[in-house]
Amino acid sequence: MVLNFISGLLESAIRTGCPIMLCGLGCLFCSKSGIINFAMEGVMTMGAFFAVFGSYLTGNPWIGLLMGIAAGVVSNFILGIMAITVKVNQVVVGAGLNSLCIGLSSYLLTVCYPDGVPSQVTGFSYVTLKSLASVPIIGVIFNEQVLTYIAFLCVPAIAFIINKTSFGMALRACGEQPHAADSLGINVVRKRYTAILISGIFGGLGGAALSLGQLSVFSVGMVAGRGYMAWSAVTIGRYGPVGVMLASLLFGLASALQVRMQAIGIAIPSQFFSMFPYVLTMIVLVSVVGRTVGPKAIGKPFIKGER
């Protein structure tokens, strides 16, 4: 009984944490290059909407995925222009972009589906890695969607790119000391836009993983703060890919516990479980005060020649 509970918990944590992790990895790229990506909530929403819409139009979830990614890239690009070229307060513009995207997705819901919103579209199927799935307890996690496997494979790939390649080194330099990078011929602006592009891809992927991957439908407000959780995951995860993964799983675990606690009959109102991820974020932010040091130049626009 207990083992079943744990494996069920694990599976649910992974499933719920996966979209957060994808968006978190996107936020991570931006952070490393020196941009605070606070627009993930909106980017995720656009990705989620267009992924479902694409599948609705073509019946093919992969086309939907591509549309979701494209939507994520375009939305994130707006953040990029505002942060890099126009040089405004990155957090405020992120919050504004969130409003815009959420409002837009709600608006498009009525416009794009003139015959009414379908209750389901073609989603992704589950892929079981048979040999690994038979392992007790953990075996459950090897029955996931393709998207989930891809997501987790991205973690070591991103760790390698950021830490072991010259591209990653240049990217990190842009986030720590952009003037030093600039003096060595690294194009800080171009690197930051690249980070925005990658971030948009991951944001769209995350949204698609949520809507198309898990529920095969888009509804207003379905993102429900996951974009902000992704942003928190970067801070909690100490600005590293593995940390982001673990933090995202933690959030997933919190949501999973919420449902399961109720089922067991523990008499705590459901709202307290719903609150838990947000309270957790705040607690973690307090506990990492003074210790977590992100990229030094994060949030500051780059102006050439200025000290």
Partner 1 sequence: MTVKIGKAEVEVKKRKKKNGFIYKFSGILIAFVLVLLITALIIALSGKNPLMAFSYMFQGAFSTEYNIGETIIKTCPLLLCSLGLCICYRAGLTSIGAEGQMAMGGLMATIAGVYFTSLPRAVLIPVCMIMGMIGGGVWAGIVGYLKAKWGISEIINTIMMNYIAAYIVTYMCSGPIQEPPYTFIQSSQLQSSAFLTKLIQGTRIHGGVILAFVSIFIVYFLLWKSPLGYQMRAVGLNQAAARTSGINVTKNLILSMALSGVFCGLAGAVEIMGLHHRLMPGFTSNLGFDAMAIALLGGLHPLGATVASLFFGALRAGASTMQHAMQVPASLVDIIQGLVVILVLTQHVFSDFVIRITSSKKRLARVEKEE
Partner 2 sequence: MKQKGYRRMEEYILEMKGITKVFGSLVADDCVNFNLRRGEVHALLGENGAGKTTLMNVLYGIYHADGGEIFYKGKKIELENSRDAIRAGIGMVHQHFMLVPPMTVLENIILGQSDNLKRVDLKTPREKVAELCDTYGLQLDLDEKVSNLSVGEQQRVELIKALYRGAEILILDEPTAVLTPNEVKELFVILKQFVKQGKSIILISHKLWEVKRISDRCTVLRSGKLIGTVNTCDVEEGDMASMMVGKKVTLKYNKTPVLSDEPILKVDKMSAKGLNLASTLKEISFEIKKGEIVGIAGVDGNGQNTLGNALMGLMPISGGTISFDGTDITNMPTRDRLKEGFSFIPEDRMTQGLVMDFTLSENYILDRYETAPFTTKNIFFHSNAVCDYGEKLTKEYDVRPDDTEAYAKSLSGGNQQKVILARVLSSNPKLIIAMQPTRGLDIGASEFVHERLLQVKQKKAGVLLISADLDEILAVADRVLVINEGHFMGEFVPGAITYEKIGLMMGGMKQEAEEVNA
- Residues binding partner 2 (CB under 8 A): 160-161, 164-167, 169-170, 172-173, 176-177, 179-186, 296, 304-305, 307
Stretch that binds partner 1, among 137-145, 189-197, 243-251, 285-293 (CB under 8 A): 285-293
Q: Does 214 bind partner 1 (CB under 8 A)?
A: no
Residues whose CB falls within 8 Å of the CB of residue 205, separated by 6 or more in sequence, listed in order: 22, 26, 47, 65, 68, 69, 72, 147, 151
- Rule CB under 8 A: choose which of 1, 2, 3, 111 binds partner 1: 111
- Rule CB under 8 A: choose which of 126, 160, 167, 272 binds partner 1: 272
Q: Does 269 bind partner 1 (CB under 8 A)?
A: yes
Q: Could you tell me if 207 and 44 are in contact, meaning their C-beta atoms sit under 8 angstroms apart? A: yes
**CA-wise closest residue to 195 among 108, 292, 297:** 297
Q: Does 135 bind partner 1 (CB under 8 A)?
A: no
**CA-wise closest residue to 150 among 52, 62, 237:** 62
Query: Least separation, in Å, of the C-beta of 178 and partner 1?
Result: 19
Q: Does 271 bind partner 1 (CB under 8 A)?
A: yes
Whole-Å CA distances, 75 to 97, 167, 181: 8, 24, 27
Residues whose CB falls within 8 Å of the CB of residue 259, separated by 6 or more in sequence, listed in order: 12, 273
Phi-psi region of 280 (alpha: psi -120 to 50; beta: other; left: phi over 0): alpha
Query: Least separation, in Å, of the C-beta of 247 and partner 1?
Result: 14
Query: Least separation, in Å, of the C-beta of 167 and partner 2?
Result: 6
Long-range contacts of 271-279, Cβ-Cβ distance < 8 Å, separation of 24 or more: 277/225, 277/229, 277/251, 278/225
Nearer to partner 2, 165 or 287 (CB): 165
Q: Does 29 bind partner 1 (CB under 8 A)?
A: no
Structure token digits, residue 155: 């973690």
Structure token digits, residue 293: 């040091």
CB atoms within 10 A of CB 212: 31
Query: Least separation, in Å, of the C-beta of 174 and partner 1?
Result: 22
- Rule CB under 8 A: choose which of 232, 248, 255, 258 binds partner 1: 232
Give which of partner 1, partner 2, none residue 86 binds (C-beta under 5 to 8 Å, depending on kind).
partner 1
Give which of partner 2, partner 1, none residue 167 binds (C-beta under 5 to 8 Å, depending on kind).
partner 2
Stretch that binds partner 1, among 121-129, 140-148, 183-191, 226-234 (CB under 8 A): 226-234
Give which of partner 1, partner 2, none residue 282 binds (C-beta under 5 to 8 Å, depending on kind).
partner 1
